[in-house]
Structure 1
Amino acid sequence: MKKFSVLIANYNNGKYFKECYDSIISQSYPNWEVIIVDDASTDDSVETIRNIIKDDNRFKLYENKDNRGCGFTKGHCMDFATGEICGYLDPDDALYPQALEKSVEAYNRHPKIVATYSRMTMCNDKLEGDTVFTKTKAVYNDKYFFNYPIQLAHFFTFKKEVYDKTSGINPDLCNAVDQDLYLKILDHGDPAFVDENLYKYRLHSQGISQFKSKNSAKESFAKVIFDTMNRRSLKSINKVKVPQTYNNSTEIFDLLVYQTKFLYRLKTKAKLFLGR
């Protein structure tokens, strides 16, 4: 039975952790561990989390000496993971009871895949809600897939052996950290789409990724895509040259406008249908 490492990077979200914790211990899949890295929280997160996990040796809590940011902290979680399959869970979010089981089942059915992802439910501050994030879809993965527009999101899981082949999450990133992970993993193979709601995403004013400057997030995502283009040795996209240096987000996203067009999306659906 594969071991699953649930990875949690925390910063000042201790007050939400109990619901996250409850969702983990309620999993139908039994073989898991939880790695928590606190990024020098300024609230009572560490004490709160310690009191909740108590002496449960399935949970491991580590602390950054200084605040290092989301990219560094998520990457640091991987330093302690021992599972064959890994997946990030934000401390203010939660999993559905069969999240781990459904994800592992996908790997068992499709041994060659490198990752899985699912649908997620958008929730309010109290983790209530039934609105499905409708942009998540089955994707056709090739060297021109950059998850723009967004089609691949939570609950994203991946093989640790594949992550170890990458350069890891960029520790300097504060935004687009998940996108950086997705694209690096997908460099090495195809994902499987679990067409079920496995993740509860909480919307609240203190969310790490929800309320930052839109321009900052846009720039970070564009830089991640530009780095991916270089990593994949792409010289042109749809007959347009890839710039040799990063200048601005508009230049990068303009290269991918064709991927939002109806004809392109129709061709992609046909490829998926034909199983190519």
Structure 2
Amino acid sequence: MPASTDLCRSIADRLLAAYESRRPIDPISADAGLSVTDAYAIQLAQVESWRAAGRVVAGYKVGLTSRAMQRQLGVSQPDFGHLMGDQVHSDSQPLDHVRYLQPKVEPEIAFVLGADLAGPGVNVAQALRAVDFVLPALEVIDSRITDWRIGFIDTVADNASGAGVVLGSRPVRVDALDLALSGCVMELDGAVVATGAGGAVLGSPVNALVWLVNTLGERGVAFRAGDVVLPGSVTAAVPVAAGSVARARFGGLGQVTTVFR
């Protein structure tokens, strides 16, 4: 049985307050009886508040695309969150570390759509045809839950732990590289901290795009030309501190850099 609207609104308000105060809260999964449906309702309540404040949705993100993370949280599918327009940053643009609570970065291959796209029923060919180009990206993830003590309910309600993205400046046509084989070297302060490839994302990042389009389509949400889609990380997330310089280098895509000032 779904939780009450009042309970979902109350939890959404607690998460919104954590954004403002930059003080994390206890896991919300401790609230008895919360379902995945409730968690998405809590996420959407926050998005509605952001929209009411004048913010706009610039795209979406997919999380939990690695089998290891799914096993860790006891689920068999990814989750999704919303990407707000003021969370999209340019390559090498400094980010204020104080804006975040306990940030980490993840290297991703970002899709930028050139045409509207709506599921359900979208296949790989249709999804790729709607993609204008791809970019190297560094997603900033964060948790409003103390010490990242999250379960699936927690991260879904917390907008899939999304906090922003830094996009590279060199667009590449999607047919110019093999998304699954594109390798990545992740550096922090000049040292290599992780390596991976696009195949770590559900076998290929485009599979995450298809999943997201069809999942949102079932909820009546369509993608628009210009939307940014983050399909999931190709490596494990890397914690960052004030002063950290993060850089991801992708084969065939180039690099993207940011500094947490």
| TM-score past 0.5 threshold | no
Higher RCO, 1 or 2 (CA under 8 Å, sep at least 6)? 2
Alignment TM class, shorter chain as reference: under 0.3
Which structure's CA Rg is the greater one? 1
Q: TM-score with structure 2 length normalisation?
A: 0.26
> Which has the larger share of strand?
2
